[in-house]
Amino acid sequence: MYDSSDPRSRLTQKAATPLGTEGIAAPETHLFNDPTAADTSVSGVKIWAARGQNFLVEYMEMDAGTEIELDRVRGCVLIVEEGPGQIAVAIDQDNVQLGERGIIIVPPGRGKVSANERSTVVVVTDILADDAPRAVNAESYAQAHPRVARLAEDLPAPKELKAYPLSDFPPEEGRFGTIFRTHSLMINFLDDQVGPRDPEKLSPHHHDDFEQGSLTLAGQWKHHIRTPWTTKQSQWRDDVHVNVDGPSLTIIPPPTVHTSRAVGEGLNLMIDLFSPPRDDFADNGWVVNAEDFPR
């Protein structure tokens, strides 16, 4: 259900899949602002990690002049926040820099990420199995969630180290956010929300078979999540209305009904993560780097 001003109101709507009796996973929210919960094994770097079924999110705060090793078998995507310095990534003989909000797509290989000023970087990696033990919610996925579509094991990894500044893709009328993809991940920078979202123009909706990771980077947000009733009352849950202030990851499982509202008075930033990538977004031509990752 979308307001008519929302570009998603023009998406082709599929008939809802019958709920069945399979248990619906509980939504989760993980905050990235408790220093005592961070991994500090690398000097000058704090790392918080949480996961969905098919993706791992590592939120990193890096002091000026620090670097961290990067070694991902299938590559990864770095989300760079706007800041005073530059993030540099080197893989083998290739290197790129990004000094503004955007992403860096990283192919497989051993390399490093460095920051010349205090910076925040988010590393998103696709995962095929229970191979993210450092995630704070690893136990939630000790058994695969049966309602979530799994990634194919033969998806190609990125081949090129490449930076995409967000400023190269200004907002367009009728386009929903600024969406990037690889073959296994989709990253949607929602348009900047300055001040609270109009509570009379929300967008409660659900997904039949994929999770959504809502990564908040700035401002204040309120996530509203409703678990549909199955025939088993033991699976019913109260509605969730969770407030987040600062960086966090909220995992929204299928087929929960959900919508998020910016409630902060200043700049509110959120990024939606999907794995596998969404076909409906691609079908509408909303993926700005589609030529680099043909379907």
Tally of CA atoms within 13 A in the half-sphere of 219 that contains its CB: 22
CA distance 244 to 216: 8
Residue 225's domain is classified under what CATH number?
Answer: 2.60.120.10
Domain span at residue 48 reads 24-292
> Would 31 be classed as within a structural domain?
yes
| pLDDT given at position 83 | 79
Max alpha carbon distance in the chain (Å)? 58
205 located within any domain: yes
- Does 240 map to a domain? yes
Has residue 232 been placed in a domain? yes
Distance, in Å, from the CA atom of 268 to the CA atom of 218, rounded to the nearest integer, reads: 5
Among candidates 145, 84, 88, which has minimal Cα distance to 114?
Answer: 88
Assigned domain for 8 exists = no
Give average pLDDT by consecutive 10-residue segment, the chain, 295 residues: 72 65 90 92 95 96 95 92 88 92 95 94 88 87 92 92 96 94 97 95 94 97 96 94 96 97 96 96 95 91
Tell me the whole-structure pTM to 2 decimals. Answer: 0.93
pLDDT value for 9: 66
Number of domains composing the chain: 1
164 in any annotated domain:
yes
Sign of the torsion angle spanned by Cα atoms 168, 174, 175, 177: positive
Write down the pLDDT at residue 186: 98
